[in-house]
Chains A and B, each alone.
Chain A
Amino acid sequence: MDARTVVEPVPHIQVESLTVVYEKPKAEGTLIAVSNVNLDIARGTFVTIVGPSGCGKSSLLLSIAGLVKPASGCIRVNGKPVSAPGRDRAVVFQDFALMPWRTVIDNVRFGLELQRPRGLTGGDLTERACRYVELVGLKGFEHYHPHQLSGGMRQRVGIARALAVDPEILLLDEPFGSLDAQTRDEMGSELLAIWERNKKTALFVTHGIDEAIFLADQIVVMARDPGRIIKIISVDLPRPRTVETTDSKRFIEYRRQIRECL
């Protein structure tokens, strides 16, 4: 513990006793996806949530996003409870969820159009969208349609769309899950590069252990039946992270720690 800290600032995200329950589609009864989870996330940290299928990591993320209503418990952002989507949070989805009839630039504008930030004209929105298209490395592809892009490029559009609304919190739900291994690694490095520029609070769900370690300041390890947090690991690897980082002794140690839990 750091002796300088006298008063802890309010954590950016507070999850208190969160329980998320789903109706079982074809059977009787309910499925407890998340059971009594407590979690505090500090501002500006990159947190990965890792665990096997069905451990509730996506449900946790989507609850924070306000897209899933918890059965009990509370989620606070900046101390205030949230139960619906808001301007402070933006989501990047595993299946990209791009509108196929919109071009790249129009897809990036999508979130902005819906949120209607004050004082910005349509032209302003397009200009902002352009900046983010460039940021994710898709300059020149503004007028392409999603079906003309590769998986990696489509997800960059998804990331640009989320960043364009300038949220405080970036929520990524297995964003690279649909991509092949090589693209996934590239995208991970690029995501970090983009993140370094503005250090938003980021929550990244994955079931890849190496990916979880590589990206994170903090790793939340979850288990299933019922979905709960079993370990939180602080990652003490230097940034910027490179390929060499994955070969370091500490990286291998973290990997071992996580493997033991699961």
Chain B
Amino acid sequence: MKTAPALAGITSFAVILLVWESAVRFGWINPFFVSEPSAIALSLSRAARSGELWHNLTVSLREFAIGYGLSVVIGVLAGALAGRFRTVEYALDPFLWFLYSAPLIAFYPIFVLWFGLGVPTVIAMTFLLSVTQIATSTLKGIQSVNPGLLRAARSFGATDRALLWKVVLPATVPMMMAGFRLGIGRALMGVVVGELFGATAGLGYSISYYGALLKTTDMIASLTVVVVLGVLCTQGLTAVEERFDSWRTF
């Protein structure tokens, strides 16, 4: 556990919050636009006590879990198949490329058409946004397995199945982990933006709701929860990645 960067991070945020609070107190910035940390903290505790925070959090987390979970399962499967069978890779290639580069969120009205407003659409968007990242990373991971290792294992009489579990999978893990990490960012975006547009609950919905009422403080409160979630997920997965990465020399 690296303490120095963590310490630096905490100090940095503390300084920023201090400057922010003072700037508003001294009248340098209009609190309407950015609110102040003390007010935001109050809003958060109010939302926590009333259960509003937990409700929104659980709705968003559930959508995230389902959407991201689906994309992990299908993404790894698709990526594995594509990695194993060239034909599958070439067949999936154009679709993966399109799903990755096209502005999927712009397809939102179509999702609404198919799945209706609310949770299903959010899950669909979350799924589509992250599945390509995971599939591509898994594919690249499998392709990056050193053929020399496979040859060596075969020379010891390894079956296809043993090869998969003992050579391919462990070697693929680093790139897969990277894909999971990147996919989380996109999945989170899918959830929040999906809720911005047409949900009745969730963090994104909360931001949009208070936005319509011009209640900056409550908006930023929900936004803070989103930021914290984003950072936790990214840092968490980076830590997991590093644990798996320790043997890498390339």
Direct contact of A and B (CB under 8 A): no
Could you list which residues of chain B lie within 8 angstroms of chain A, going by C-beta atoms? none
